């Protein structure tokens, strides 16, 4: 320890120092710092020497090992170690080299020490700075030396404690600190430099080799994959996505100049990757394990689903958020364990779920999570109020349908969703002269029945029945019992939520798709959304042979047209329904309640809806949509069709 | 053709590298690189490639003219040619990039009703016009020699790594390398490393961050205060990774062909003040304006502030023909002016934490201005930020999005710091790490390439953001 002497001197004297003494101390300080530097230089030289020797003999590991040892050793030990190592090197290198090096190192030291001596001659400690010359003692056992030094250190420690008690000269204390700081800094500096030097040597020795390997690996991949992409057979259809993949475009000057050709080739190359389906699967797992969720969908947002070729689903998925996955049971087990599940549910078990791909899956049921807050419904309510102002003579009703997440989310995951009820109630409060239809409680009473689909984002026909019942009560119109309808069903239904979530549990657990058709007579006309054409057809589509995912389109074959129904009812009530896809399932239940029904999807309507309704002599206007639509972009679209020419 | 596409990575690039590598001499290599570059541009712009060729040819002639004048000491004529060249280049940029914008704004004046021209913006015109300008101006300032080989000039302008999304490479920085360069195995290795890094930034980070942004900033979506901040922060990171990823790929590929481009991004989010941000963000653009615009003597005595205003107006306008970009540029200009007025010394006295909070807020809000081209929506964004739209302070959609994308967000955040440089520094200090890091480097590159490529198979979301530039 360099400042040991200063400390000793400091405490051997009184607190007061004369100017000369201070000056002397200052010089000493300088001297010590020189010593410190000299040591650093010497050690650096040693390190360099080691590295060079290591390079020469290709003993990189040895150099690294030494280096690590020196790094981890304390200052004194480091020096001893270096001496050790020097010995080792000496034994493996020529005496000539070694001599020149030793000379070099000592010259450094001598210069500095002699320079220091002129300023101040230290009484002792000379040995500390001079390397051990005696081979016997330089073949040190560091531990022994360490023990010796530990003893040396002890009195110093007491000195420090004395220092903290005795009020010594603050200036001197600063000097002591400065020495220590300097020492530390020099130490750090040399360690860094020695490290840099050795690393630098290692890096440059390895640079070319590393570059060759790196290049080889990357280029092999690049060329290998390229060869695979060019040579392997390219798929033409994707069974998973149920679509034909892009085809190689035909070249023509026109298509080239318009950019179509090059775009087409790019698309073809990117779309028809060999082993595409394998990679698609890998993408899912990469996204899953790396936490890259491609569809963290938000209120109003719509996840992109590749559209089906045979029957394009125009029903848009209402906005959503997260999906947790639960372990699947096989179908056989499902029935057996039903009771157990119910029991367990009463105890409110912690459902294990893992967030994946934006839709929560619990008990093989996909749940889209509602994220809106109360006031978010205000624009919707305001739009409805404006409709009422435009059509003061018409009864306007608001039916905001809650979604699955209101009824089927386990207790421990409830924090993932906002309350749809609060949102719907708030909308009710904001409505002026518009009658809210309380579907929430109507559905809640029947939540043990299949009122929603498990694998699809829509509600089931039965759910729509209870909602229609509540509406007919508000509208004071007749309402047919469910026995007046014929029940149909189809097995093997896997709805849109599988496509959105890619959760295999949904696909492995298909459900039964049930719909009801009225026994009464009525006529259905489809009118194109710009009113340019119309034709009479069946309200219910024949879904035989359709891909299961599009079975919900059994109701009026989708959304992109206006539907006009004429029934046998004669009560002078003409209903217009402005709806999203939820509304589709509602219409059949109203065929015994209104004389005429106009079904308008707010997303597909080309003219001014107010004048259209006036023209048709509408007496009742129902807004029927799920809560996501009411709080999202679809609500804005209702405003668009209200004001557009 | 974008770099982050399978057809580029696994058809264009390998074929180009193969031909380039097999070329026996530098002139052949140059020719190969030029032909591939032209093919690359023609792929994306089958017709506008004519514009590029004309532009290069004209400027080649302007260059020869200036060179001749300087030889014969006709300073006046040299200036005239330089000005004609400016008018020609900026004129092209103006016509193809800004004519629609200018006419739209002229039409706002009562009584003016001009037909709005609908010219599609040639890809990369902003970048290559600026590169040509750097050649002409440097030549006029006699800082470089005239390029007598038209193909060399064409190679410089059309070189595909930097052609469509920067960085803006100065002619002076690669003039020598066009004529004389050595390609070592280390260059190729470092270049590949850089390419993979950029690819990963773009495909793994930026593309996924962009889905979050789209979800939150889509039309007619009500956002909570927290959601707005969250989305704009994510957007800032998206732009950074997208843009710097592109620059990395450009620099990396340049290196593989033996060219050393200057750095374009240096961890901009580490900046301590706004001035520093612009020394770290899109450096090639910042230095371009600094060197060529700041000292234009058109503001007389108020040159300092006039120049500053002009630079930031241009910076904004360069990013797109829309008012929000101009606001964006002037917004940064204002803060830099404020910082200049306060003075560096006094700013340094402010606690570092406060400085970071200040500049991060300014930068992040700035990205909001950058996002919303529609001024109405921009206003709504500002109200959302502070809850003036009656929006909730917090909503669980935001929370869910954070939770859903937690790993992505953590990774993106971490990548804003100089991790790569950190590892390098550690390696430089600890010799024992040298071998490990060398192996890790190769493995990491391979992993980035494979993961990015697989993700590209499902490239429903691989936006190219520079079509406006």
Residues of chain B with C-beta less than 8 angstroms from the C-beta of A226:
9-11, 14
Q: CA of A151, closest CA in chain B: separation in Å? A: 32
pLDDT in tens, B317-353: 888 888 889 999 999 999 988 888 888 888 888 888 9
Nearest to A223 among B14, B214, B392 (CB): B14
The alpha-carbon gap from A337 to the nearest alpha carbon of chain B, in Å, equals 31
What's the token pair of residue B7? 């057809």
Asked whether the beta carbons of residue B429 and residue A196 sit closer than 8 angstroms, the reply is yes
- Pick the residue of A293, A417, A423 with the most B CBs within 10 A to test the interface with B by mutation: A293
What's residue A73's pLDDT? 62
Query: Smallest Cβ distance to A208: which of B186, B391, B405?
Result: B186
Residue contact A215–B192, C-beta within 8 A? yes
- Residue B405 to residue A291, Cβ atoms within 8 A: yes
Q: How far apart are CA B200 and CA B193, in angstroms?
A: 11
Strands A237-238 and A360-362: unpaired
CB atoms within 10 A of CB B113: 10
Alpha carbon distance B403, A359 (integer Å): 13
Which chain B residues contact residue A274 at CB under 8 A? none
Residues A396, A393: Cα–Cα separation, whole Å: 9
C-alpha closest to that of A188 among A40, A65, A317: A40
- Give the chain B residue nearest A62 (alpha carbons): B432
Q: Dihedral through CA A558, CA A564, CA A569, CA A575, nearest 10?
A: 90
Phi, psi (5° rounding) for residue B223?
-115, 145
Which residue in B has a C-alpha nearest to residue A290's C-alpha? B407
Question: Do A517 and A588 meet the contact criterion of CB atoms below 8 Å apart?
Answer: yes
Interface test with A, best of B2, B4, B10, B376 (most A CBs within 10 A): B10
Position B115 scores a pLDDT of 80
Closest CB to B397 among A199, A321, A415? A321
**Active-site pick, B267, B319, B356, B430:** B319
Q: With 0-12 CB in 10 A as exposed, 13-18 as middle and 19+ as buried, what is B74?
A: middle
Q: Are B100 and B118 in contact (CB under 8 A)?
A: yes
**Which candidate, A556, A554, A541, A547, places its Cα nearest to that of A492?**
A547
Q: What is the pLDDT of residue A311?
A: 30
Whole-number Å distance between alpha carbons of A553 and A548 = 10
How many other CB atoms are found less than 10 A from the CB of residue A142? 16
Please state, in angstroms and rounded to a whole number, the distance separating the CA atoms of residues B402 and A390.
42
What is the distance in angstroms between the Cα of A283 and the nearest Cα belonging to chain B?
Answer: 6
Contact across the interface for A211 and B188, Cβ inside 8 Å: yes
| Residue from the list B45, B224, B449 with its beta carbon closest to the beta carbon of A221 | B449
Place of tokens 């402005």: A578
pLDDT value of residue A62: 57
- Which value, in Å, is the radius of gyration of the alpha carbons in chain A? 42
Q: List, in sequence order, the alpha helices (H) in A166-304.
A: 170-231, 253-257, 260-271, 276-289
What chain A residue is nearest to B211 in terms of C-alpha separation?
A: A294
Q: Give the C-alpha separation, A252 to B46, whole Å.
A: 13
- Asked if residue A403 has a cis previous peptide bond (ω within 30° of 0), the answer is no
What distance lies between CA A136 and its chain's CA centroid? 64
Residue A83: CB atoms within 10 Å: 18
3-state secondary structure of B295: coil
Contact pairs from chain A to chain B, CB under 8 Å: 235
Are A562 and A526 a contacting pair, CB within 8 Å? Answer: yes
Chain A residues within 8 A of B408 when measuring between CB atoms = 290-293
Instruction: Name the residue in chain B with its Cα closest to that of A254.
Output: B46
Q: Which residues contact B438 (CB under 8 A, 6 or more apart)?
A: A206, A209, A210, A213, A214
Q: For residues B309 and B316, give the distance between their C-alpha atoms in angstroms, rounded to a whole number.
A: 11
Alpha-carbon gap, residue A295 to A306, rounded angstroms? 13
**CA B45 – CA B1 distance, rounded (Å):** 9
Smallest CA–CA distance, residue A496 to chain B, in Å, is 18
Return the bridge partners of A574, or none: A596
Choose the mutation target among A52, A188, A211, A275 for the interface with B, i.e. most B CBs under 10 Å. A211
Angstrom distance (rounded) from CA B145 to CA B416: 39
pLDDT in the model for residue A574: 93
Sign of the alpha-carbon torsion through B216, B218, B224, B226 = positive
Segments in chain B below pLDDT 70: 219-221, 295-303, 459-469
The C-alpha atoms of residue A119 and residue A30 are separated, in whole angstroms, by: 9
Residue B76: count other Cβ atoms within 10 Å of its Cβ: 8
Q: Which residue among B189, B215, B405 sits closest to A211, beta carbon to beta carbon?
A: B189
How many Cβ atoms are within 10 Å of A116's Cβ, its own excluded?
21
Distance of residue B278 Cα from the nearest chain A Cα, in angstroms = 30
Inter-chain contact A203–B434, Cβ cutoff 8 Å? yes
CB environment B143-158: b (16+ within 10 A), e (fewer): ebebbeeeebbbbbbb
Residues in chain A with pLDDT values less than 50: 1-2, 10-15, 56-59, 112-169, 294-357
How many beta carbons lie within 10 A of that of residue A495, not counting itself? Answer: 25
C-alpha–C-alpha distance, residues A191 and A185, integer Å: 10
Are the C-beta atoms of A322 and A358 separated by less than 8 Å?
Answer: yes
Tell me the three state secondary structure of residue B164: coil
Q: Which of A459, A624, A443 is nearest to A552 (CA)?
A: A459
Say what the pLDDT of residue B201 is: 93
**What pLDDT shows up at residue A308?**
30
**What tokens were used for B367?**
């990205």
Alpha carbon dihedral A180, A184, A186, A192, in 10-degree steps, equals: 180
Q: Do A373 and B224 touch (CB under 8 A)?
A: yes
Residue B251: the pLDDT is 94
- Interface contact flag, B7 A265, Cβ < 8 Å: yes
Instruction: Return the residue matching tokens 């017709």.
Output: B47
What are phi and psi for residue A581, nearest 5 degrees?
A: -65, -20
Cβ contact A293–B454 (<8 Å)? no
Q: How many helices (H) and strands (E) does chain B have?
A: 24, 0
Is the Cβ pair A292, B408 closer than 8 Å? yes
First CA to last CA across chain B, in angstroms?
16
What is the signed CA dihedral for B48, B54, B59, B62, rounded to 10 degrees? -150
C-alpha to C-alpha distance for B223 and B384, rounded to whole angstroms: 7
| Structure token pair of residue B444 | 């990491």
How far from the centroid of its chain's Cα atoms is residue A459's Cα? 30
What is the pLDDT at residue A261?
87
Question: Does B319 participate in catalysis according to the annotation?
Answer: yes
d(CA A108, CA A123): 21
Rounded to the nearest angstrom, the gap between the alpha carbon of residue A213 and the centroid of all alpha carbons in its chain is: 33
Closest CA to B409 of B160, B213, B252, B278: B213
* Burial degree of A599 (CB within 10 A; 0-12, 13-18, 19+): buried
Query: B156, B131 in Cβ contact below 8 A?
Result: yes
What are the contacts of A251-260 at 24+ separation with CB within 8 A?
A256/B46, A257/B46, A257/B47, A258/B46, A259/B44, A259/B45, A259/B46
Q: Which residues 6+ apart lie within 8 Å of A520 measured at CB?
A: A480, A484, A567, A568, A591, A592
Give residue A81's region: left, alpha or beta (phi > 0; psi -120 to 50): alpha
Asked if A333 and B359 touch (Cβ cutoff 8 Å), the reply is no
**Residues of chain B contacting A279 with CB distance shorter than 8 Å:** 454, 457-458
pLDDT recorded at residue A395: 92
SS3 at position B234? helix
CA distance A338 to chain B (A): 31
Chain B residues touching residue A207 (CB < 8 angstroms): 186
Contacts of A214 in chain B (CB under 8 A): 189, 192-193, 438, 441-442, 445
State which residue of chain B sits closest to A296, comparing Cα positions: B401
- The enclosing H or E element of A398 equals strand A395-401
- In sequence order, the β-bridge partners of residue A625 are A400
Nearest CB to A211: which of B10, B186, B221? Answer: B186
Of A71, A296, A631, the CB nearest to B405: A296
Rounded to two decimals, the ipTM of the complex is 0.86
Taking the CB of residue B354, how many other CB atoms lie within 10 A of it?
9
Instruction: Decide if A595 contacts A566 (C-beta within 8 A).
Output: yes
CB contact under 8 A, B46 and A290: no
In whole angstroms, give the CA distance from residue A375 to residue B393: 12
CA distance A337 to B419: 51
Task: Write out A543-576 in H/E/C secondary structure.
Answer: CCCCCHHHHHHHECCCCCEEEEEEECCCCCCEEE
Tokens encoding B391: 């929006």
């Amino acid at each position: 320890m360099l400042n040991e002497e200063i400390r000793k001197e400091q405490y051997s004297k009184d607190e007061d120092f004369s100017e000369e003494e201070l000056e002397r101390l200052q010089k000493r300080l300088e001297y010590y710092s020189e010593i410190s530097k000299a040591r650093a230089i010497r050690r650096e030289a040693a390190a360099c020497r080691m590295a060079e020797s290591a390079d020469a003999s290709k003993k990189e590991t040895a150099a690294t090992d030494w280096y690590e040892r020196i790094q981890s050793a304390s200052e004194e030990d480091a020096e001893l170690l270096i001496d050790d190592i020097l010995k080792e090197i000496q034994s493996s290198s020529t005496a000539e080299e070694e001599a020149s090096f030793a000379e070099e190192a000592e010259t450094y030291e001598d210069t500095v020490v002699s320079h220091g001596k002129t300023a101040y001659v230290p009484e002792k400690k000379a040995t500390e700075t001079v390397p051990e010359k005696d081979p016997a003692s330089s073949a040190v056992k560091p531990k022994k030396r360490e023990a010796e030094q530990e003893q040396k250190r002890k009195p110093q420690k007491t000195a420090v404690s004395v220092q903290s008690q005795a009020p010594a000269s603050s200036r001197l204390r600063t000097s002591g600190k400065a020495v220590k700081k300097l020492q530390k800094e020099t130490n750090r500096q040399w360690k860094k430099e020695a490290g840099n030097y050795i690393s630098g040597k290692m890096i440059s020795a390895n640079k070319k080799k590393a570059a060759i390997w790196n290049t080889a690996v990357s280029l092999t991949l690049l060329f290998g994959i390229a060869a695979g992409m060019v040579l392997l057979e390219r798929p033409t259809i994707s069974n998973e996505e149920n679509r034909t993949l892009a085809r190689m475009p035909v070249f023509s000057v026109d298509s080239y100049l318009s950019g179509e050709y090059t775009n087409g080739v790019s698309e073809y190359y990117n779309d028809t990757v060999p082993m595409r389906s394998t990679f698609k699967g890998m993408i899912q797992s990469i996204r899953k394990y790396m936490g890259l969720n491609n569809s963290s969908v938000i209120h109003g947002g719509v996840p992109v689903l590749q559209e089906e070729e045979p029957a394009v689903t125009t029903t848009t998925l209402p906005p959503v958020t997260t999906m947790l996955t639960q372990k699947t049971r096989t179908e056989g087990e499902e029935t057996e364990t039903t009771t157990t599940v119910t029991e367990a549910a009463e105890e409110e078990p912690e459902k294990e779920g893992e967030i994946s791909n934006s839709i929560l899956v619990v008990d093989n049921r996909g749940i889209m999570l509602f994220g809106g807050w109360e006031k978010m419904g205000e624009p919707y309510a305001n739009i409805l109020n404006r409709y009422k102002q435009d059509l003061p003579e018409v009864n306007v009703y608001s039916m905001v349908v809650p979604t699955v997440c209101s009824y089927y989310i386990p207790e421990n995951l409830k924090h993932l969703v906002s309350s749809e009820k609060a949102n719907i109630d708030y909308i009710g409060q904001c409505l002026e002269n518009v009658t809210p239809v309380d579907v929430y409680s109507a559905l809640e009473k029947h939540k043990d029945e299949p009122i929603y689909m498990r694998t699809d984002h829509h509600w089931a026909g039965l759910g729509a029945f209870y909602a229609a019942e509540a509406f007919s009560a508000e509208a004071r119109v007749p309402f047919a019992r469910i026995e007046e309808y014929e029940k149909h069903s189809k097995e093997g239904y896997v709805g849109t939520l599988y496509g959105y979530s890619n959760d295999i549990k949904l696909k492995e657990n298909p459900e039964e798709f049930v719909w009801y058709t009225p026994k009464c007579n009525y006529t259905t006309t489809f009118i194109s959304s710009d009113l340019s054409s119309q034709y009479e057809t069946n309200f219910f589509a024949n879904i035989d042979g359709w891909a299961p995912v599009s079975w919900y389109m059994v109701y009026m074959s989708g959304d992109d047209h206006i539907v006009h129904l004429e029934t046998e009812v004669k009560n002078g009530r003409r209903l217009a329904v402005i709806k999203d896809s939820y509304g589709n399932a509602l219409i059949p239940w109203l065929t015994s309640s209104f004389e005429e029904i106009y079904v308008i999807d707010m997303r597909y309507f080309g003219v001014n809806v107010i004048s259209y309704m006036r023209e048709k002599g509408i007496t009742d206007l129902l807004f029927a949509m799920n809560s996501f639509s009411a709080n999202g972009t679809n609500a804005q679209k209702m405003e668009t069709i209200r004001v557009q020419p | 053709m974008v770099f982050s596409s399978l057809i580029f990575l696994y058809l264009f690039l390998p074929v180009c590298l193969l031909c380039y590598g097999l070329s026996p001499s530098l002139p052949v290599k140059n020719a190969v690189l030029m032909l591939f570059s032209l093919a690359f541009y023609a792929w994306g712009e089958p017709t506008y490639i004519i514009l590029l060729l004309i532009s290069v040819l004209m400027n080649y002639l302007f260059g020869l003219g200036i060179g001749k004048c300087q030889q014969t000491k006709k300073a006046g004529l040299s200036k005239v040619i330089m000005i004609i060249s400016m008018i020609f280049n900026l004129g092209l940029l103006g016509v193809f990039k800004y004519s629609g914008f200018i006419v739209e704004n002229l039409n706002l004046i009562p009584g003016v009703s001009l037909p709005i021209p609908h010219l599609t913006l040639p890809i990369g015109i902003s970048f290559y016009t600026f590169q040509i300008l750097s050649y002409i101006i440097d030549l006029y300032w006699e800082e470089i020699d005239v390029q007598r080989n038209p193909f060399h000039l064409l190679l410089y302008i059309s070189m595909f790594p930097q052609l469509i999304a920067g960085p803006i490479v100065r002619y002076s920085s690669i003039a020598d390398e066009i004529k004389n360069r050595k390609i070592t195995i280390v260059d190729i290795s470092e270049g590949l490393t850089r390419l993979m890094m950029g690819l990963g930034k773009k495909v793994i980070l930026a593309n996924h961050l962009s889905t979050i942004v789209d979800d939150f900033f889509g039309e007619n979506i009500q956002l909570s205060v927290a959601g707005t901040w969250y989305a704009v922060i994510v957007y800032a990171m998206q732009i950074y990774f997208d843009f710097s990823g592109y620059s990395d790929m450009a620099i990396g590929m340049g290196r593989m062909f033996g060219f050393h481009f200057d750095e374009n991004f240096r961890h901009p989010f580490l900046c301590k003040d706004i001035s520093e941000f612009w020394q770290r963000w899109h450096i090639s653009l910042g230095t371009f304006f600094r060197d060529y615009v700041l000292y234009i003597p058109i503001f007389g005595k108020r040159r300092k502030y006039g120049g500053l205003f002009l630079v930031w107006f241009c910076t904004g306008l360069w990013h797109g023909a829309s008012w929000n970009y101009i606001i964006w540029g002037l917004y940064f200009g204002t803060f830099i002016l404020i910082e200049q007025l306060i003075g560096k010394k006094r700013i340094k006295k402010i606690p570092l934490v406060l400085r970071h909070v200040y500049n991060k807020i300014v930068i992040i809000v700035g990205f909001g201005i950058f996002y919303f081209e529609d001024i109405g929506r921009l206003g709504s964004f500002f109200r959302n930020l502070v809850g003036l739209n009656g929006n909730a302070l917090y909503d669980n959609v935001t929370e869910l999005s954070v939770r859903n994308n937690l790993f992505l967000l953590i990774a993106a955040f971490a990548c804003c710091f100089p991790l790569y440089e950190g590892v390098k520094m550690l390696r430089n200090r600890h010799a024992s790490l040298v071998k490990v890091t060398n192996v890790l480097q190769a493995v990491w590159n391979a992993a980035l390439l494979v993961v990015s490529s697989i993700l590209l198979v499902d490239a429903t979301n691989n936006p190219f953001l520079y079509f406006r530039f």
